């Protein structure tokens, strides 16, 4: 029996804004992946993962998941005692969904009622997101359930608002000069403290106002033009979005990235934005000319995720 693979995810647009009802666009990223496997637990990595699953199974045993989404915890615990571990190369603390992939893998294997990701109704998609939110709260304290949903569905998802989400198709990438890419900040970030900073900021009226009137407007316009492959308005709004984040999300921008973020805005050679909650991990880059951007970002490890 082959074990299903669960890919990492990337929030292209909507980080933090989705908390306040902005749109979001989240895509799977197959470079990183994870799967549940059995072993003799000879390596430290396998043993630690197995011990982690033991604690996680205790947490899940106390969750009261609704009928259609119940898990077979006894089978899960039995498998753990027989050497189950999560074999994953998804980096932790990098904003690409390491816990989301694990939650999706556990649900896929141990859900009592089997679902077919290809024909889940829009209503069930919403319910599944809520269930995944409960399952992932073990890792972050509070979770929207979006990461595991993307990992489970393995399809791009457009979040229309807090209540509605649906599958969406991304325009086919072509081998053009433009690119969306990841930059490694060289440090890990923790989601919890970053979200704490965001909620502190939300206590001030001025920040709430600019988030609603500017950030969400630029964010939604970027999603709209990207899905239509309308690149001129896309980059126009992207610059505004990047500048807004530079001004208002400073604590979330890793120190190593701060100067090159500004350099992109000043030169218009590329624009940067947070990938997930920030604080470390990956930063997302967008450029019309990747060769030029790559030279300007010399010294940083980069990964191209989409060409146009």
Q: Are 160 and 18 contacting, i.e. CB atoms less than 8 angstroms apart? A: no
Buried b (16+ CB within 10 A) or exposed e, 58-78: eebeeeebeeebebeeeebbe
Interhelix angle for 122-140 vs 98-110, to 10°?
120
pLDDT of residue 1: 46
- Supply the pLDDT for residue 289: 97
Give the whole-angstrom CA distance, residue 236 versus residue 80: 51
Would you give per-residue pLDDT tens digits along the chain (308 residues)? 467 999 999 999 999 998 888 999 999 998 999 999 999 999 999 999 999 999 999 999 999 998 889 999 999 999 999 999 999 999 888 888 789 999 999 999 999 998 888 888 888 888 999 999 999 999 877 787 888 998 999 889 999 887 788 889 888 767 789 999 999 999 988 887 898 999 999 999 999 999 999 999 999 999 999 999 999 999 999 999 999 999 999 999 999 999 999 999 999 999 999 998 899 999 999 999 999 999 999 999 999 999 99
Q: Tell me phi and psi for residue 66, to 5 degrees.
A: -65, 160
In order of their start, the domains of the chain are: 6-167 (3.30.230.10), 179-307 (3.30.70.890)
Distance CA 110, CA 86 (A): 14
pTM metric for this prediction:
0.85
DSSP annotation of 154 reads -
Give which of 241, 282, 279, 254 is closest to 140, Cα–Cα. 279
* Tokens at 202, concatenated: 């939300």
- DSSP state letters, 54-122: HHHHHHHHT----GGG-B-HHHHHHHHHTTEEEEE-PPTTSSS-HHHHHHHHHHHHHBSS---GGG--H
pLDDT value for 2:
63
């Amino acid at each position: 029996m082959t074990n299903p693979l669960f890919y990492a995810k990337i929030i292209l647009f909507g980080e933090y804004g989705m908390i306040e009802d902005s749109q979001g666009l989240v895509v799977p990223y197959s470079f990183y992946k994870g799967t549940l496997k059995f072993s003799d637990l000879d390596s430290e990595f396998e043993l630690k993962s197995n011990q982690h699953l033991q604690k996680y199974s205790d947490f899940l045993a106390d969750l009261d998941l609704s009928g259609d989404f119940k898990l077979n915890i006894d089978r899960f615990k039995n498998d753990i005692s027989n050497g189950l571990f999560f074999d994953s190369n998804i980096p932790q603390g990098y904003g690409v969904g390491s816990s989301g992939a694990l939650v999706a893998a556990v649900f896929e294997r141990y859900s009592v009622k089997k679902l077919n990701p290809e024909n889940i109704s829009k209503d069930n998609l919403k319910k599944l997101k809520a269930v995944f939110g409960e399952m992932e709260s073990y890792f972050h304290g509070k979770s929207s359930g979006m990461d595991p949903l993307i990992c489970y569905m393995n399809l791009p998802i457009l979040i229309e608002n807090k209540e509605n989400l649906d599958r969406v198709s991304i325009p086919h990438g072509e081998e053009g000069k433009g690119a969306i890419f990841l930059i490694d900040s060289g440090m890990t970030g923790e989601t919890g403290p970053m979200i704490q900073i965001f909620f502190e900021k939300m206590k001030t009226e001025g920040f709430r106002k600019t988030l609603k009137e500017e950030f969400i407007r630029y964010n939604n316009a970027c999603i709209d033009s990207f899905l239509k492959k309308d690149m001129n308005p896309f980059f126009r709004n992207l610059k505004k979005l990047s500048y807004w984040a530079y001004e208002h999300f400073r604590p979330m921008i890793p120190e190593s990235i701060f100067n090159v973020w500004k350099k992109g805005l000043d030169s218009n050679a590329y624009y940067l934005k947070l990938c997930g909650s920030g604080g470390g991990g990956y930063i997302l880059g967008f450029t019309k000319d990747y060769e030029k951007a790559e030279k300007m970002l010399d010294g940083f490890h980069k990964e191209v995720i989409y060409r146009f």
